[in-house]
Amino acid sequence: MFALVSPEKIQLPVGAVVRLPATWQNYQKLCQQRGDRSIPRIKYRSGEVLLMSPMPKHGRDAHVIANAITTLLDHTEREYDAFTPVTMELPDESGIEPDYCFYIDHWQAVSGKERIDWETDPPPDLVLEIDVTSYSDVNDYLPYRVPEVWLFRKNQLLVYQLQDTEYLLRTQSRYFPDINLQDVIARCLQVAYDRNTSAAIRDLKQRLEKGALQ
């Protein structure tokens, strides 16, 4: 299958990434053309549009890691809200579709809202991005000032935290400072691929109950 991007049709092979010069209006038209479908993923930055057709591994890894995050949050009895899919937009500047968004410190600011105004509402406290096709870039979240971004790339979890005007790579998350996240995520994914996602999350819950992650 060849990649095709036209006013009438968008068609991408699985795993393909297409980069095109574009205006904000071009980006909006592509989003309207896609409609309610979640594929292809579309983002806008600096006068260009990027389109990506995710591979199955992308969705599975996102599901496993997001479930691990909610399990860790539930274990510490923290309240939160999570969103997927979601489109974050700042007109004429940026449009991006993270795999998962988590409101942890600021969940009350978006509680009950059907739409989030990215110009006035606070950004998600934590964003998860799975990068299988070199489509993701942590700096895409700078315009929104997302405090923490998890980027899963080449089977490694990278935790970035916003410091002034840049993202810095950290060894720990501010939300789980006492947890070795690299080990937790690696084990969850191993169990998920050896068996399934539910087995991976059950294993994580059991280890938390035993205090095996402290």
Dist CA 199 CA 194 (whole Å): 9
Dist CA 197 CA 112 (whole Å): 29
Dist CA 152 CA 31 (whole Å): 25
Dist CA 146 CA 159 (whole Å): 12
Helices then strands (H, E): number in the chain? Answer: 5, 13
Percentage of the chain exceeding pLDDT 90:
70
pLDDT of residue 3: 67
Domains by residue range for the chain, with CATH: 1-53 (no CATH), 55-209 (3.90.1570)
What's the rounded mean pLDDT across residues 22-37?
A: 88
pLDDT of residue 55: 78
Q: Is the pLDDT of residue 214 over 80?
A: no
Q: Tens digits of per-residue pLDDT, 163-213?
A: 999 999 999 999 999 999 999 999 999 999 999 999 999 999 999 998 877
Q: Give the distance, in angstroms, between the CA of residue 197 and the centroid of all CA atoms in the same chain.
A: 18
What's the rounded mean pLDDT across residues 114-134?
A: 91
Mean pLDDT of the chain: 90
Q: Pairing between strand 166-170 and 156-163?
A: antiparallel
DSSP character string of 125-154: SEEEEEESSS---GGGGGGGT-SEEEEEET
Contact 42, 31 (CB under 8 A): yes
- Give the residue among 34, 46, 19, 16 at the shortest CA–CA distance from 140: 46
Q: Tens digits of per-residue pLDDT, 89-123?
A: 999 999 999 999 999 999 999 998 888 999 999 99
Secondary structure letter of residue 91 according to DSSP: T
Q: Tens digits of per-residue pLDDT, 57-81?
A: 888 999 999 999 999 999 999 999 9
Q: Pairing between strand 10-11 and 4-5?
A: antiparallel
Work out the angle between the directed axes of helices 181-194 and 56-75 (0-180°, nearest 10): 130
What's the rounded mean pLDDT across residues 3-20?
A: 74
Task: Describe the strand order of the beta sheet including 100-103 as a list of residue ranges.
Answer: 81-83, 100-103, 126-131, 148-153, 156-163, 166-170
Positions of E strands within the chain: 4-5, 10-11, 17-21, 41-45, 48-52, 81-83, 88-90, 94-96, 100-103, 126-131, 148-153, 156-163, 166-170
Dist CA 98 CA 160 (whole Å): 15
